[in-house]
Each structure stands twice: as structure tokens, then as C-alpha cells.
Amino acid sequence: MKVDTTRFGPLDVPDDDILVFPEGLIGFEECTRYAIVDRRENRPVWWLQSLDRPEVAFILTDPANVVPCYQPEVSRSDLEAIGLATLDEAALYVMLIVAAGPKEITANLLGPLVVNPRDRLGKQVVLRHSAYSAVHRLAQPAPASAGDGSGPPC
């Protein structure tokens, strides 16, 4: 399908590349169809562009880029909602919020996006009883001298 987007101009998204979030995203329940915009210069982040509202796009990244050992407890019913039996089958993304400036970049670790890559179905999951924050501030990189092998604990 062809869509005009605010950030990327016209996009031609093959039907097989459309990602469906049947419940939409929280606060964006009417936006159920998305495309992942993968721009080499933006890696390791991708844009999740709404195909329903041209101005709506979210910045996603692999949670491993934010915290080393992200282990969300996703309930079975959340997995079943997108046709999965285990989290191992899923692709996990977290949203980045790039607001006023580089010091204000946060990641939403409490509401990750879980995607069934086979059927291209997704769901924003709200973790229960979780210590992960919805407003996780991205830490400044450690100084280069910190390469002593003692990485952050899992």
C-alpha cells in the first residue's frame, strides 16, 4: 500500500511488510497498521511508522541496546494474543522517547513491543510487578577505561 508520511514522505509498503497491532498501541488504539522504516543512517534504531496516521511514528530499538539483560515477564495471554507460545519466538522492541535534547532521551522498558515475526502481529505489553521503568533515562556511555571485563550485572 502507498502512504504519505509526515517524516518520510511517500512510502510504498508491500502487504507482506505490514505489521498489525490488533489493539493498536496504548493511547493510539486507532493505529493498528505499521511499517518498520529501516534507515541505515539511523541504525541501531528503527522507526515504527503508522499507516493509519501519517504523523505518528515511534523510534524503536533492540532492548539489548539499552540494558544488557532485559528479561521482561510477558504473560502467556499476551503471547497468545499474537499467536505465540513462548517469548523466545518473539522479536522484542522498546520505544525510545527523544524529546527536548540528547540528555532527555528515555526508553520505555515497562511497555515493550512484542512482535510475532512469522505472522507480523504485534502487541504493546504492560509488564506486571516489574522493576523496569517506563521512563528509563539512557545513561551516558562509560569512559573508555572501563574495559575491564566487569560489565554491568545481569
Partner 1 sequence: MLVLDRKINQSIMIGNIEVVVTDVRGDHVKIGVQAPRCVPVHRREIYDVIRAQNIRAAESETAHLNDLRGLLQIEAGPGAGVPRKSA
The residues that touch partner 1, with contacts defined as CB under 8 A, are 7, 16-17, 19, 25-28, 36, 38, 42-46, 55-59, 61-62, 64-68, 75-78, 80-81, 91-93, 95-99, 101-102, 105-106, 108, 110-111, 115, 117-118, 120, 124, 126, 128, 134-135, 138-141
Q: Which long-range contacts (CB under 8 A, 24 or more apart) does 127-136 make?
A: 127/72, 127/73, 127/74, 128/73, 128/75, 129/73, 130/72, 130/73, 132/70, 132/72, 133/109, 134/108, 134/109, 134/110, 135/97, 135/106, 135/108, 136/66, 136/67, 136/106, 136/107, 136/108, 136/109
- Tell me how far, at minimum, the Cβ of 24 lies from partner 1, in Å: 10
- Tell me how far, at minimum, the Cβ of 59 lies from partner 1, in Å: 5
- Tell me how far, at minimum, the Cβ of 2 lies from partner 1, in Å: 19
Question: Toward partner 1, which CB reaches closer, 71 or 76?
Answer: 76
- Tell me how far, at minimum, the Cβ of 94 lies from partner 1, in Å: 10
